[in-house]
Amino acid sequence: MQVLLLLVQLASAFAMIVLVLVQHGKGADMGASFGSGASGSLFGATGSANFLSRSTAAAATVFFVSTLALAYIGSRADAPAAQGSVLDQAASAPASTAASAAVVPSAPAAPASGAALIPTK
């Protein structure tokens, strides 16, 4: 199920990219309104949504629904990948033998705040 949703999400993302790049921008007609006066308003006539904008909205809806479904599936408690956060897993993991065997010399204790490092007159 997760693989199918991921494929749907990738297909809708690709479709959105293609549809947005194919569409004609509103700013492209602005030069015509100043120079040749082809449009009636500053950004041209704004009519009802055409096929490309409706298709983009449909692809965006499919993308967001599949994203929400993938997030829900990924956050379920019975999912094998949901074993707590990465920090919880790192804290509960045993220390490696190489790291525990190495002796690290201790550095001198740093002051608790940076105020001790400021020279006084």
Residues 6+ apart with CB under 8 A from 14: none
Residues 6+ apart with CB under 8 A from 53: 23
The model scores a pTM over 0.95: no
The first and second tokens of residue 70, run together, are 């993938």
Rounded-to-integer distance, Cα 29 and Cα 13, Å: 28
pLDDT (mean) for 85-110: 64
Q: Tell me the average pLDDT of the chain.
A: 75
Rounded-to-integer distance, Cα 89 and Cα 81, Å: 11
Q: Do 41 and 47 form a contact (C-beta atoms < 8 A)?
A: no
Q: Over the stretch 36-84, which tens digit does the pLDDT of each residue have?
A: 544 445 555 555 578 888 999 999 999 999 999 999 988 885 555 546 6
The first and second tokens of residue 61, run together, are 């809806």
Residues 6+ apart with CB under 8 A from 57: 49
Predicted confidence (pLDDT) at residue 109 exceeds the cutoff of 90: no
